[in-house]
Amino acid sequence: DAKTTQPNSMESNEEEPVHLPCNHSTISGTDYIHWYRQLPSQGPEYVIHGLTSNVNNRMASLAIAEDRKSSTLILHRATLRDAAVYYCILRDEGGAQKLVFGQGTRLTINP
C-alpha cells in the first residue's frame, strides 16, 4: 500500500479555515485519495475522496496537486466539533479495498 505522510498535530482557531496537508509521493495512477476523521471516543468517519480534480462536499474541500504527490484537506470554517484525528489514505481502485490508516494529524481547535 502506498504511504502517506501527515504532520502529527495542528492547531487552529474556531471559525477560521484549516488546511491539513498530506504527502503521497509514491502515489500510483489508480490510487484514490481518501480522508477520514476520528472524533474522540468514536469510530472513524468518511470525510471526502478524490482522484485528480479538486472536490467539495458539505464537510470539506479536497485540493489535489497537479502531480498528485500531495493533497490538502480544507475545513472552511472550523468549529470545536471539528477537533479530531484526520487520516489521509490511499486506496487502489483495482487492488485491496482495506483502509490502511497511518498516524494521522491530531487537529486541535481553540475557542
CA atoms of 71 and 73, how far apart (whole Å): 7
Residue recorded with cell 474522540: 40
Instruction: Report the site for another protein in 64-103 (rule: CB under 8 A).
Output: 85, 87, 91, 93, 96-103
- Contact residue for another protein among 41, 66, 67, 111 (CB under 8 A): 41
**Residue 46 contacts another protein per CB under 8 A:** yes
User: Residue 79's CB: how many other CB atoms inside 10 A?
Assistant: 11
Site residues (vs another protein, CB under 8 A)? 32, 41-46, 49, 85, 87, 91, 93, 96-104
